[in-house]
Amino acid sequence: MRVAQRGVAVVLAMGVVALAAIAAIAIIVPQSIWLRHNQLTNEYVQAQVMVQAGVDWIRAVLSDDRRLSNVDHLGEAWALRMPVMPIEKGELVSHIDDQQGMFNLNNLVQDGKVSATYLARFKRLLALLNLPVALADALVDWMDADSAPQPQEGAEDEYYLRLNPPYLASNRPLTDVAELALVRGFDSSARARLHPFVTALPRFTRINVNTAPPEVLAAMIEGLGINGARTLVEQRQRAYFRDDADFLNRLPQGAVVEDNDVSISSDYFMATLRVTMGDAQAQGMVLLARMDAGWPAIIWRKYL
């Protein structure tokens, strides 16, 4: 009997210990999760602060660049891909992209009306990228003020209201090229193909011939062609275009462009930043406008 009682006592004791262990785990695990969550939250907040500080640093770089020169080219400090910058408990990666080296989609529609000149140029760009030229008609319908669709696969409210879910055409300039996802025909593959060559800026802009890729130059300049554009890019790598006259003098015979369509400087830049701090990461994209003396203004920003 005593042996049996001792056995029961041992079993009960083991049960009590097991319950105590379970209770301890139930307390410790949530506490550990909370501590880890709190640590990640603090690291993320610090990473966000570093992204914002990085934006201010880039604004200072662009401000100094304008103070030193009115010519913008790919050999300048702002255009260089900086190495990873170590910071306390982490690292910062950033780069600056000239937005006036890209085709400004908002040039397609001016004061609510389609620009026939820029529509033809955008169709030329689409053809160079092996994309359907009908995308141009759909895009200008998205932005123009009227409700009459363009002849080649244009799309106004009637088309978009048949979608699920339905929505209306914007009838205004693009704020960001990400908006192309809403426009007829601009699927993910088309947007990915276009992405390195197009932008959406808040006003009419000229192309910076010192930073534009060959595809954009060929689209903008009548009679240049992609081979002529590649030759110009090779020339500017040896010696950038110092003024409009320098660029026009280097155009091949038969290539024609208006003076007010090209430039050798830029006002709009995109800053992209990523900060890693511990296990947390913060990212930011900022469109900057360098219009007057002083630091560039922030047009819009996206922080993740």
Q: Which CATH number fits the domain that encloses residue 285?
A: 3.30.1300.30
Check whether residue 140 and residue 247 sit in a common domain: yes
246: containing domain = 106-197+208-261
Q: Which residues contact 146 (CB under 8 A, 6 or more apart)?
A: 112
Check whether residue 296 and residue 236 sit in a common domain: no
Which residue in 53, 216, 192, 79 sits closest to 131, CA to CA?
Answer: 192
Instruction: Calculate the alpha carbon distances from 93 to 150, 161, 289 in Å.
Output: 43, 42, 21
Q: Tell me, yes or no, whether 33 lies in a domain.
A: yes
| Averaged pLDDT of the chain | 87
Query: For the ranges 3-12, 84-93, 260-269, which has the lowest average pLDDT?
Result: 3-12
Per-residue pLDDT, averaged over 156-174, amounts to: 95
Check whether residue 161 and residue 225 sit in a common domain: yes
Which residue in 293, 300, 289, 241 sits closest to 266, CA to CA?
Answer: 289
Check whether residue 150 and residue 86 sit in a common domain: no
Q: Tell me, yes or no, whether 202 lies in a domain.
A: no
pLDDT given for residue 93 in this prediction: 86
Give me the number of domains the chain comprises: 2
Check whether residue 119 and residue 14 sit in a common domain: no
Check whether residue 63 and residue 83 sit in a common domain: yes
Check whether residue 256 and residue 110 sit in a common domain: yes
pLDDT in tens, 177-235: 999 999 999 999 999 999 999 999 999 999 999 999 999 999 999 999 999 999 999 99
Q: Tell me, yes or no, whether 145 lies in a domain.
A: yes
pTM attached to this predicted model: 0.84
Q: Are 235 and 145 in contact (CB under 8 A)?
A: no
pLDDT in tens, 290-302: 987 778 999 999 9
Check whether residue 141 and residue 254 sit in a common domain: yes
28 pLDDT band, cuts 50/70/90, is very low
Q: State the alpha helices, DSSP H only, in the chain.
A: 2-68, 116-128, 134-143, 157-160, 188-194, 214-220, 225-238, 244-249
Q: In CATH, what number is assigned to the domain containing residue 154?
A: 1.10.40.60
303 pLDDT band, cuts 50/70/90, is confident
Check whether residue 71 and residue 121 sit in a common domain: no
pLDDT in tens, 47-63: 888 888 889 999 999 99
Q: Tell me, yes or no, whether 203 lies in a domain.
A: no
